[in-house]
Chain A
Amino acid sequence: MNASWSRFNVTSIVLGFAFLYLPIVLLIVFSFNESKLVTVWGGFSTKWYVSLFHNQGLMDATWVTARVGVISATVATVLGTLAALTLTRYTRFRGRVLFSGMVFAPLVMPEVITGLSLLLLFVAVGLDRGFFTVTLAHITLTMCFVAVVVQSRLVSFDRSLEEAAMDLGATPAKTFFQITLPVILPAIVSGWMLAFTLSLDDLVIASFTSGPGATTLPMKIYSQVRLGVTPEINAACTILIAVVAVGVIIASIANKRREVQRQLDEQAAQRG
């Protein structure tokens, strides 16, 4: 074991983790700072968390972000799932290659370009920018991510399950809702969560497509930081980090549990 804890290894790990997490640790530490000056430690306090909840602007932005996230993730999940179904099931229609290329292009498209082009479109058709346009823009952004996640599940989906259901008398619609959908549901849920997260932290596209009264949390934070960083923002970010961390931990524990249960089941099956 000595070899694995050589000075070199320890240094590498410390440096690596410092590089990754030092900024975040600083942010969290200073969110509990008594002083109003962001970079000077003035003792422990939770007063910024209290004042955060009295900051109407930030609370409004949070509410807007949550609504945009839920609506856009839901619509994007429906559209992305349909696109994934089409791409995996109907492999021989005209223009399939073009279609799949176009569905996945936004994955690599610079956000600035997506944002700008959407802005131009909304101006051209005379759509007032606000909640509706930012939601539309987020649907555009996140749909292709959902399509990728769902498609990777559909590729390994055993088509004979659907044939078996139809053979047993289920119409194609019933087959879809009773067999296909439940089986690919975990992938659809992951797609939704991915879409929601992407919408939650998007700043670039939101800045282009949002309007008065529809400021999202990242936009609000960014604009406040430009006026000077307050410990309030640190507190807001710490809460965001906590929410995301809790989500990730719950997801991985659930995953681990399922894996363990599965192994137990398989052992039981082999015994019985």
Chain B
Amino acid sequence: MKSLGSIRRDFAPWNDPNAKPYIQFDNVTKKFGDFTAVNNLSLTIFEREFFALLGASGCGKSTLLRMLAGFEEPTAGRILLDGQDLRGIPPYRRPVNMMFQSYALFPHMTVENNIAFGLKQEGMPKPDIEKRVAEMLKLVKLEQFAKRKPHQLSGGQRQRVALARSVAKRPKVLLLDEPLGALDKKLREETQFELMDLQQELGLTFVVVTHDQEEAMTMADRIAIMDKGEVMQVATPAEVYEAPASRFVAHFVGNVNMFEGKVAERSANTTRITGATGAQIVVDNAADTSKGADIVFAIRPEKIKVSSKKPADAVNALEGEVYDVAYLGDMTVYHIKLDDGQIVRASALNAARVTEDPLTWNDRAWVSFRPDAGVVLAR
């Protein structure tokens, strides 16, 4: 099977066994008193990668970022950056810069002085500072706002100043803590693409912390999904979505239907699953299960076809009744209550303006899907 990551870009150092990791977390643990924020975590990030840490609040993703920036020291384990152990190096000597969730713009300084702050600390000559600041202002399209103070700017402009300030020093790694959290939806979508372009343009390594899966999927080369201080899966957005490693990941990213069941029969290519409520499902991508194993079959809503008649060629077809219909414009979401009582969510793209096979509340309906449409996970 072709790697799903290569669909996005040819950039995939994580598949190259000879690639040198750029940032390395080695069995890192961080405790705050009795609370374990990060638990024995190992992770590698490659140069020029756009890496996202995704998880609910309190999963340890921000702690991980703060350890990289130097605001927290690991309780155990070590963090390497370009081969150098970061232990004991204070934040002001680390070649990483951070963009803060609150932006943390210095309220008593103008935009240009905010951007110049890091360069002045470096002792860069004044003409060079002026040149770099002008360059940064141009990069974030804020040339005419150079003399303004932060409180004279809108939210989106502040975000761009924070970004310009954090990349002005040309750090080896840019850390972004919920960079778009304070923006409204429309602006957030625009800015996601701007950030991606910027990362390409500057050739930096980006590590972004977010709780918004859409944001992570849009921007990142790879995503680490975290829960309770541990990494659940590290993979490209497509892999995370199409081949989740666990129930948690499948649930966390996107919508999913879960059928609990047992492996009833195994043959060379196909596996037959008997659902707990009686549904029979045939799959062809469950090679590493054994007969009798308790498993979960997970399938995304858009992989399920809904029709009023049983499709003739369907391998998997289950009958039920339309329980709910939600018309969203670009697609329609159906909730089908199967005859065994389970509710299945299915979404259909509204490719035509008028549907040929309209279904509405309480209609009898069939849901069908291909044998490779879902994944089999351990219970």
Contact = CB atoms under 8 A, between A and B. Distances in A.
| A and B are interacting partners | yes
Contacts of A268: 152
Contact of B169 (A165, A168, A183, A270): A168
Contacts of A167: 69-70, 91-92, 96-98, 166
B149 A160 contact: no
Contact of A164 (B70, B100, B151, B169): B100
B92 A166 contact: yes
A56 B104 CA distance: 55
Contacts of A163: 69, 71, 91, 98, 100, 104
Contacts of A183: 106-108
A168 B97 contact: yes
A174 B121 contact: yes
Nearest to A268: B152
Interface string B102-126: 1010111000000001100110000
A168 B121 contact: yes
A265 B149 contact: yes
A262 B149 CA distance: 11
B106 A161 contact: yes
Contacts of B84: none
A21 to B, nearest CB: 39
Interface in A144-176: 158, 160-161, 163-171, 174
B107 A164 contact: no
Contacts of B102: 158, 160
Given A183-B107, A269-B153, A170 B92 contact: yes
B132 to A, nearest CB: 13
A182 interface: yes
A266 interface: yes
A157 B98 CA distance: 19
Contacts of B145: 272
Nearest to B144: A272
Contacts of B154: 269-270, 272
B246 interface: no
Nearest to A265: B152
Given A163-B71, A269-B154, A169 B121 contact: yes
A158 B104 contact: yes
Contacts of A174: 121
B152 A160 contact: no
A179 interface: yes
Given A168-B121, A169-B169, A269-B157, A179 B106 contact: yes
A158 B107 CA distance: 11
B90 interface: yes
A166 B157 contact: no
A266 B92 contact: no
Contacts of A158: 102, 104
B108 A160 contact: no
Contacts of B106: 161, 164-165, 179, 183
A161 to B, nearest CB: 5
Contacts of A266: 151-152
Contact of A166 (B91, B108, B165, B169): B91
A268 B148 CA distance: 11
Interface residues of B, number: 32
B183 to A, nearest CB: 15
Contacts of B70: 167
A167 B121 CA distance: 11
B315 to A, nearest CB: 55
Nearest to B115: A168
A115 B151 CA distance: 46
Contacts of B98: 163-164, 167
A268 B149 CA distance: 12
A174 B154 CA distance: 29
A167 B114 CA distance: 13
Given A160-B104, A163-B100, A168 B118 contact: yes
Interface in B80-105: 90-93, 96-98, 100-102, 104
A167 to B, nearest CB: 5
A216 to B, nearest CB: 37
Contacts of A269: 148, 151-154, 157
B202 to A, nearest CB: 17
Interface in A222-272: 262, 265-266, 268-270, 272
A164 B175 CA distance: 12
Contacts of A166: 90-92
A190 B149 CA distance: 23
A170 B98 CA distance: 14
Nearest to A262: B151
Contacts of B165: 164, 168
Contacts of B166: 167-168
B122 to A, nearest CB: 6
A169 B151 contact: no
A193 B101 CA distance: 36
Interface in B140-156: 145, 148-149, 151-154
Contacts of B121: 168-170, 174
Contacts of A270: 154
A174 B98 CA distance: 18
Nearest to A181: B108
Contacts of B153: 269
Given A163-B71, A163-B91, A166-B92, A182 B108 contact: yes
Most central of B69, B93, B100 by chain A CB within 10 Å: B100
9 contacts: A158-B104, A160-B100, A160-B101, A165-B106, A165-B117, A167-B96, A170-B92, A262-B151, A266-B152
Given A169-B92, A169-B118, A266-B151, 9 more contacts: A161-B104, A163-B91, A165-B106, A167-B91, A168-B117, A170-B117, A170-B121, A178-B117, A270-B154
| 7 nearest CB pairs, A to B | A168-B118, A169-B121, A164-B104, A160-B104, A265-B152, A166-B91, A182-B108
